[in-house]
Structure 1
Amino acid sequence: MSKKLLAGVLGAAALMMGAASAQADEPAKIGFVYVSPIGDAGYTYQHDLGRKAIEEKFGDKIKVSFVESVAEGPDAERVVMNYAKSGYKAVFATSFGYMNPTLKVAKRFPKVAFEHATGYKRAANVNTYQARFYESRYLTGLVAGSMTKSNIIGYVAAFPIPEVVRGINAFTRGIRAVNDKAQVRVIWTNSWFDPGKEREAADTLIGQKADVLTMHADSPATIQAAEDAGIYAIGYNSDFAKFGPNSHLTSSVTNWAPYYVKRVGEILDGSWKGNQDTWDGLSADMVQVAPFHKDVPQSVRDQVEQAKADIIAGKLHPFAGPINDNEGKERVAGGQTMSDGDMLGFNWYVEGVVGKLPK
């Protein structure tokens, strides 16, 4: 081989090695898909705190993007597809209605890691994850049941899917543990984020004499309605105290950051595996209870803390029998506890919830 040819070969090899090295040094691209605006509090806000946690943890090893207010359905598929086509290593799809679009895209991009929040369908490159929201819901129910005077508690709810029904039932179980005269009235908005509908539902419940409100929705409208009416409210996903300084008793708070840090760490070190499901709660600090309003008596705070410790220790379960539905039928016998599978399929109200569950 001539010196000139050898020099050319070595030069080409050096260029290839340089390109490979540069590619190896490029940050891993991570994408997030949000169902509502990030805002100042709520479901999407908490996921975005998790996004910020991975940026702080991994720095220039990753490049993170997000798209907010992505409608469930075809638009979600478009956004997830764009990430996959653009060389992203992982996509976190953070809403229940993103499940099928995510699975569809995942089939076309088997080398991309997909993570879907609150769903139940998995694949070789798709994991699911959610929080045991019902544990902290039960704890905040203890507060609501202790603080109501009218014994009517209002609940502004998004969609009648098992996740939301499970939260209503756990909250009611907490209420009834301390106040068997209290009832929960539910109004459905059929939207994860619609401040106008949420406010209208909250005002309607106030008109029905509810003196404590809570919600499964992503805006502060319910808390603000309670503040304006001079009654109490309990938040969800975030600490909503700044939206109701006089009304906000506490919140059920979701902490996604540890999960995101764990999964992104696995993606970076090559140990990430698909087809996994994570369902963590108080024991993993994935759900928490926000600080209490000054009006909450110390005795109630102590009761909440004891119940929290008992749930973590396995001494207390929000869905331990006996449990009747709101039509008087026994659903869980005494000495029995609902399985995860049964809780994941909740399609009935517990005793204490007024009305029929929409089909």
Structure 2
Amino acid sequence: MKRRTLLASGVAAATLAMAGLPALAQDKTKVGFVYVGPVGDGGWTYEHDKGRQAVEAEFGDAVETVFVESVPEGPDAVRVMQQMALDGADLIFTTSFGYMDQTLEVAAKFPDVKFEHATGFKTADNVGIYSARFYEGRAVQGHIAGNLTKSNIIGYIGSFPIPEVVRGINAAYLAAKAVNPDVEFKIVWAYTWFDPAKEAEAANVLIEQGADVVLQHTDSTAPQAAAQAAGNVYTFGQASDMAEYGPMPRVSSIIDNWAPYYIARTKAVMDGTWESDSTWDGIGAGMVGIGEITDAVPADVKASAEALRDAIAAGEIHPFTGPVNKQDGSVWLADGETADDGTLLGMNFYVEGIEGDIPQ
């Protein structure tokens, strides 16, 4: 009887030990990332993936990260997100505006999984949203561009006519106009986030129209290469530093720094404090960085651009401060008035002075 009891105890202990193995495995937090472009795009997705790598470096064996790159904005995104959730992801970051509705759709099916959607505006109990105030960086770029242009024509490559992109165009234009009243913006819509051939074509079209400065809200370095081939055309890095094209044509950049946010939200899931939230940070919080302003920019312009950057970071200057009219001449911001976040988040108009219509 005693032997039987010992055997039973041994079996029970072994069973408990075996049961503990999957429990230990489940303790590892699994974090998924859905990317609209390839991790090697040199821009938007490249910086998001640097954030993913930072999560791994921060938490080591306590986390597992997975990612799928070049996921189209549409039904296929649902499949990718759903598979991540089925594979045990505890937290999923969906990193493009066009994933918004798909994120909500999948989140409703997996209420125990936390989702974070970049640049969108819809939330749920298990869906948070986050973005950066890129328009702050566009204002710094516009300031530099307005000072540098000799032709007074600045080209802008837009991706899609969504508020985020329209905000950037307006912010850059107002900053350029403030230092150069004769400046003119020409805008080409590429209707893509990442397509080097289309981006290069757009850059070349703008250069042929007289632009000697080209800004972009697309993700590859193709516009830099096109400007380099044309000669005497200035560009700016988008989303990442793109410093390999410095000191010319790339004279500065907007750098997206997602790592601190990804680390903080992963930690919140790990310690059980995650809640649906809305985050919109800029230069001051470090989510938007301004890349080195190269020596191709005159020293006085570099100094004034850095002063503008610092003033925006400190909250002393808002890129959208009146007097500012809408394109049709109607008053938008009175003298000294600053734009509210609600209007900025839904911005669907050009400011006065920009020609052309926003595509519908």
Asked if TM exceeds 0.5, the reply is: yes
Aligned partner of 2:321 in structure 1 is 320
The match for 2:268 among 261, 266, 269 is 266
* 1:34-73 aligned within 5 A: 34-39=35-40, 41-73=42-74
Distance 1:106 1:285 in 2: 29
Distance 2:171 2:300 in 1: 21
Distance 2:337 2:91 in 1: 40
**Superposed displacement of residue 7, structure 1:** 4.6
* 1:114-153 aligned within 5 A: 114-153=115-154
Question: Any conservation in 1 of the 2:248–2:296 contact (CA below 8 Å)?
Answer: no
Aligned partner of 1:8 in structure 2 is 8
CA offset digits 1:124-145 (Å, max 9, x no partner): 1111000010111101111101
Query: Partner letter of residue 239 of structure 1?
Result: D
* 1:281-320 aligned within 5 A: 281-320=282-321
Distance 1:208 1:51 in 2: 40
**Superposed displacement of residue 200, structure 1:** 1.1
Secondary structure of the structure 2 residue equivalent to 1:31 = strand
TM-score (norm 1): 0.95
Query: Partner letter of residue 141 of structure 1?
Result: G
The match for 2:251 among 230, 249, 252 is 249
Matched, 1:31 2:32: yes
Secondary structure of the structure 1 residue equivalent to 2:161 = coil
Distance 1:312 1:292 in 2: 17
Distance 2:112 2:328 in 1: 50
Q: How many equivalent residue pairs?
A: 358
Question: Any conservation in 2 of the 1:226–1:244 contact (CA below 8 Å)?
Answer: no
Distance 2:338 2:326 in 1: 15
**Superposed displacement of residue 8, structure 1:** 2.8
CA offset digits 1:268-296 (Å, max 9, x no partner): 1221112x100001111000110112111
* 1:325-344 aligned within 5 A: 325-344=326-345
Distance 2:43 2:304 in 1: 26
Aligned partner of 1:98 in structure 2 is 99
Distance 1:184 1:12 in 2: 75
Q: Which sections of structure 1, spanning at least 5 residues, go unmatched?
A: none
CA offset digits 1:125-166 (Å, max 9, x no partner): 111000010111101111101100000000011100001101
Distance 2:283 2:254 in 1: 11
How much identity, in percent, do the aligned residues show? Answer: 49
TM-score (norm 2): 0.95
Distance 1:189 1:40 in 2: 16
Distance 2:249 2:288 in 1: 22
**Superposed displacement of residue 336, structure 1:** 1.6
Question: Any conservation in 1 of the 2:247–2:295 contact (CA below 8 Å)?
Answer: no
Question: Any conservation in 2 of the 1:96–1:118 contact (CA below 8 Å)?
Answer: yes
**Superposed displacement of residue 235, structure 1:** 2.0
Question: Any conservation in 2 of the 1:227–1:244 contact (CA below 8 Å)?
Answer: no
Distance 1:68 1:44 in 2: 8
Query: Partner letter of residue 52 of structure 1?
Result: Q
Query: Partner letter of residue 192 of structure 2?
Result: S
Secondary structure of the structure 2 residue equivalent to 1:185 = strand
Distance 1:62 1:35 in 2: 23
Secondary structure of the structure 1 residue equivalent to 2:293 = coil
Aligned partner of 1:171 in structure 2 is 172
Query: Partner letter of residue 319 of structure 2?
Result: P
**Superposed displacement of residue 229, structure 1:** 0.8
CA offset digits 1:172-220 (Å, max 9, x no partner): 1111121111011110011111111111111111111000001000111
> CA-atom RMSD, angstroms?
1.7
Question: Any conservation in 1 of the 2:194–2:218 contact (CA below 8 Å)?
Answer: yes
Secondary structure of the structure 2 residue equivalent to 1:146 = helix
Question: Any conservation in 2 of the 1:223–1:244 contact (CA below 8 Å)?
Answer: no
CA offset digits 1:315-338 (Å, max 9, x no partner): 210011111123322211113211
The match for 2:240 among 238, 241, 244 is 238
Question: Any conservation in 1 of the 2:47–2:257 contact (CA below 8 Å)?
Answer: yes
Distance 2:89 2:12 in 1: 28
Q: Which sections of structure 2, spanning at least 5 residues, go unmatched?
A: none
Aligned partner of 1:183 in structure 2 is 184
Query: Partner letter of residue 134 of structure 2?
Result: F
Aligned partner of 1:196 in structure 2 is 197
